[in-house]
Chains A and B, each alone.
Chain A
Amino acid sequence: MQLKGLQGGLYRPLSPEQIETIHDAALTILEQTGMGYENGLEATVEMLEDHGAEVDHKSRRIKFPRHIIEQAIVKAPSQVILCGRQPEHDLDLREDKVHLGTGGAAIKIIDLETKELRATTLEDLYEVSRVVDQLANIHFLVRPCIPTDLKKEDYDINMFYACLKATQKHVMSGVNDEEGLRRVIDLAAMIAGGKDKLAERPFISFITSIAISPLKLCTQSTLIMQEANRNRIPVAISSAPMAGSTSPVTMAGTLAQLHAEELAGIAICQLTTPGAPVLYGGIPGLVNLASMGYAGGPVEFGMMNAAAHQLADHINIPNYNSAGLADSKEPDAQAAWEKSLTLILAAMAGSNYIHHSAGMLESMLTIAHEQFVMDDEIIGNCCRVLKGIEVDAEHLALEVIESVGPGGNYMSSPHTMAHMRREYFQGNGVTNRKSRDRWEKDGGLDAREKAREIAKKLIANRETAYIDPDTDRAIRDKYTIHLKEEK
């Protein structure tokens, strides 16, 4: 069952009038309040000024008259294709087409053998990426964890290397600085067989968290974003306010501020390089009001991220958002409902690129192998919903009903044979529907234990080297690669 790129648009929390109201409010915010900036962004600010933005250099505030934003955003492409290494893994981001994958930069992992919590390593990154590569319903890989065993200088190149070696799905990540970006583009070009080939089929892309909510540009991320624009590598322009601490506590207020931050970011990209491929990266979040800690599990998180897709769709730009990042600390029942609810809402909305949707726990701080397996199952189910119910002569099956007649059964009918595997979602084996008797005989494993078993099997499968040996040698000659060579 092909479950990638299905059409959403089934859940629309905002009415057309509400979308207009929020869009208009965002333009007002940019016009009246504007965006703050800091040292190091002078060239960008000058560019904006040249295009008519009003800049107060003393208070470091950029105000955007409406027409600047309106003229800039229409230059952004309404379709972005993020490639896999093979065309079957390409992601066609446009309209209400839905894709889901991993996300985050977790720093802790629940060890697959001991179940103890420990810091994530480069080896973990490679291993969970291999698991993701083999899970059919996870459509792309956003680097899910940080190699905390490396020096900061070695992060960027080694993260991308480990991901690109482990999977042929599209790989996306943030980088620490512009130098890191250049090195990663070089690495990818070596794998692609040249910079042109990479530009033709960009199988990597970048996340740049340009907004420090409320309404401030992050210097480093903005510079990285513009460098990616100039290289025509797609970027997700991330802005992730938290309702109650870095944006208004109300959902509408959070969406308006988020939309303003996104509009400013998109305008900067399009003024830097008209037509640069970008994703509207608004991730409206909230807080646990009792601690101000990040909250990604509430149902409102799903509602707001669904709304973020509508806002992106309103300006005709594909979007990147989040769902499935539970606040639960363990792969337990709470994690399951947090993930299921937020994922189904974001998917039914038609979100184009939903990241954080597999593996995450503890508000983005922790991952677990078994969680990737369980989330693959949840994602698959969500996508099945998008596929809908087919109603045509073949599916109505009037002839079959007639031939079976009253009192018969359909178990051995050819129609059943023909449709059974396509009509219903077939999972990865983690869902158990056996009789209690059989289940007990099979060890009586609960979902988490079953998922651990599946993860172990996937890891034990033979490694596929997605970087050929010659390229691998050339990369290792040029860069300090910490991942061990073929075992």
Chain B
Amino acid sequence: MTTFNKISQAIVDSDPGQAISLVETAMGNDTPAVDILNKGLLAGMEIVGEKMESEEMFIPEVLMSANAMSQCVDVLKPHLSEEDTGQTKKVVIGTVQGDLHDIGKNLVSMLMESAGMEIYDLGVDVPPDAFVEKISEIKPEIVGISALLTTTMPAMQQTVEAISEAGLREQVKIMVGGAPVTQGFCDEIGADVFAPDANAAAKMAKAL
């Protein structure tokens, strides 16, 4: 097994200790940091993504793998240029006003974070104004809105409208999700992307 394969395997095994020690050894051997990142860590996360899709890996294992990955990135960071890592996307995310469900939204946040995005989580019961304020402040590329209740779906529409009224609509891509939300509803309220689950959400956010 090559060093890169071993690092990938440590990520897939959700083993941060092993991953870090392999990364440190590789750096000691003058392996370029950018290769460790791409051929080792990211290649490992690629496999994790597949295993998550096929339900071979459980979410806590996926989160542990992501955690191992991010610890390794911290080790590599001083040796990476902005070009190597690409620009980090910023995401403002929250559950709409009147809605207290957050498990799905949290999972979306965690997977986006592990895909290298910077997350600003506004929590639950977030009024449209609070979304607008945070967007003005952070200037994110992506806004994620979650709603789990048919009674709070209108608040999702109001949030999209508030973003438009504040003149911020063109600057962001709006992603929506939650059990009652559909592609049709996404289109109807003028949001950009609907994702049915967290894995898809992270993938789509990355592709935006």
List the interface of chain A (C-beta within 8 A of B). 107, 119, 146, 148, 152, 155, 176, 212, 218, 242, 244-246, 289-292, 365
Contact = CB atoms under 8 A, between A and B. Distances in A.
B60 interface: yes
Interface of B: 52, 55, 57-60, 100, 103-104, 107, 150-151, 154, 179-180, 197-198
Contact of B103 (A148, A152, A245, A290): A245
B151 A155 contact: yes
Contacts of B150: 107, 119, 146, 148
Given A107-B150, A107-B180, A246 B55 contact: no
A304 B180 CA distance: 28
7 contacts: A148-B150, A152-B151, A244-B60, A245-B103, A289-B58, A291-B198, A292-B107
A152 B98 CA distance: 12
Q: Is the interface of A mostly helix, strand, loop or mixed?
A: loop
A300 to B, nearest CB: 16
5 smallest A-B Cβ distances: which pairs?
A290-B55, A289-B58, A152-B151, A148-B150, A292-B59
A119 B182 CA distance: 11
Contacts of A107: 150, 179-180
A290 B57 contact: yes
Given A212-B100, A365-B179, A289 B151 contact: no
A291 B59 contact: yes
Given A218-B100, A245-B103, A291 B197 contact: yes
A220 to B, nearest CB: 9
Given A218-B100, A246-B103, A290 B179 contact: no
A246 B59 CA distance: 14
Given A218-B100, A365-B179, 18 more contacts: A107-B150, A107-B179, A107-B180, A119-B150, A146-B150, A148-B150, A152-B151, A155-B151, A242-B103, A245-B103, A289-B60, A290-B55, A290-B59, A291-B55, A291-B59, A292-B59, A292-B107, A292-B198
Nearest to A216: B100
B77 to A, nearest CB: 30
A290 B154 contact: no
B103 A289 contact: no
A143 to B, nearest CB: 13
Counting chain B CB atoms within 10 Å of each CB, the highest count among A155, A246, A290 belongs to A290
Contacts of B180: 107
Contacts of A291: 55, 59, 197-198
Nearest to B101: A212
Contact of B59 (A152, A242, A289): A289
Nearest to B51: A290
A148 B181 CA distance: 13
A176 B151 contact: yes
Contacts of A218: 100
Contacts of B179: 107, 365
Nearest to A218: B100
A148 B100 CA distance: 19
Contact of A292 (B100, B103, B151, B154): B103
Nearest to B124: A212
Contact of B58 (A176, A290, A365): A290
Nearest to A152: B151
Nearest to B100: A212
A246 B101 CA distance: 11
Nearest to A209: B100
A152 B58 contact: no
B157 to A, nearest CB: 13
Contacts of A244: 60
B201 to A, nearest CB: 12
Nearest to B153: A148
A290 B100 contact: no
Contact of A290 (B52, B104, B151): B52
B8 to A, nearest CB: 21
A29 B179 CA distance: 32
Nearest to B152: A152
Contacts of A212: 100
Nearest to A244: B60
B105 to A, nearest CB: 11
A254 to B, nearest CB: 15
Contacts of A119: 150
A292 B111 CA distance: 13
A4 to B, nearest CB: 33
A238 to B, nearest CB: 14
Nearest to B52: A290
Nearest to B199: A291
B154 A152 contact: yes
Contacts of A155: 151
Nearest to B155: A152
A242 B55 CA distance: 19
Nearest to B60: A289
A242 B100 CA distance: 15
Contacts of A148: 150
B10 to A, nearest CB: 22
A383 B59 CA distance: 38
Contacts of B58: 289-290
A212 B100 CA distance: 8
Contacts of B154: 152
A289 B103 CA distance: 13
Nearest to B197: A291
A289 B61 CA distance: 10
Contacts of A365: 179
Contacts of A246: 103
B48 to A, nearest CB: 13
A218 B198 CA distance: 26
Nearest to B154: A152
Contacts of B103: 242, 245-246, 292
Contacts of A289: 58-60
Nearest to A362: B179
Contacts of B57: 290
Nearest to B59: A292
B112 to A, nearest CB: 15
A236 to B, nearest CB: 19
Counting chain B CB atoms within 10 Å of each CB, the highest count among A119, A291, A365 belongs to A291
Contacts of B151: 152, 155, 176
